[in-house]
Amino acid sequence: MYSNKVMKSALETMMFMWGEPLEVKDAAEVLEADRKEIRELFKELQSEYEQEGRGIRIREVDGAFGFVTLADNDMFLKKLCTPVRVRKLSQAALEVLAIIAYRQPVTRSEIDSIRGIKSERVIDNLIDKGLIEVTGRSEGVGRPLIYATTKEFLKKFGFASLKDLPEVPEYEEMRREREEEGYGQMSIDFEGGEEPEN
């Protein structure tokens, strides 16, 4: 027979891992204890969480118990879940996203050409985040996929439309000049300036 302390600890672990309300009968079977005793332990835990003012509470639902968050903390969750573009996107992701935003529709080879480095994984990550999407195929050789930004991109970056994108003065002219002078492809540093790729 386990002590009450051990059983309470086990109940917390099971509730956390189970992902849905844990039935008293299931918990009692695992702990080899009487259902009435397990129910009382659930109730004790429930009271302890409330008395200590925890951000997690235990709710009973039709003879089962599970963790829920404290409603008073919703405002903190909303802040946490609000997208923060700089924190969540790497420099490489911001770089690729900017190229797509300004050059769309654009193929992967065009993106790679501008960056001077392969961008396949970065593109896949941006698609997973819902910031870019495949909009079709180019008429060029091999009919490569073409990419463009999404409405989610506009929403997360606070743009009403692509017309709101900040201007990148003379970028195309600088890129052409560097290529003509033999400096190779140009890599954009979005914190200011540009560097030639070797």
Q: What is the mean pLDDT of each run of 10 residues along the chain (198 residues)?
A: 92 90 94 95 95 92 88 82 61 90 92 89 91 91 92 84 74 53 44 42
Q: Which two tokens stand for residue 171?
A: 């970028």
Yes or no: say if 154 and 162 are a contact pair by the CB < 8 Å rule: yes
CATH number of 85-193: 1.10.10.10
In one-letter notation, the amino acid at residue 182 is: G
Going by their DSSP bridges, the two strands 106-107 and 56-61 should be labelled as: unpaired
Q: Give the residues across from 136 on adjacent strands.
A: 146
CATH number of 4-73: 1.10.10.10
Predicted pLDDT of residue 197: 43
Alpha carbons within 13 A on the beta-carbon side of 109: 8
Overall pTM > 0.85: no
Q: At what angle do helices 35-51 and 4-18 cross, to 10 degrees?
A: 80
**Preceding peptide of 105 cis, ω within 30°:** yes
Where in the chain are all domains bearing CATH 1.10.10.10?
4-73, 85-193
Predicted pLDDT of residue 170: 45
Predicted pLDDT of residue 10: 96
As to burial, measured by CB atoms within 10 angstroms (0-12 exposed, 13-18 middle, 19+ buried), residue 165 is: middle
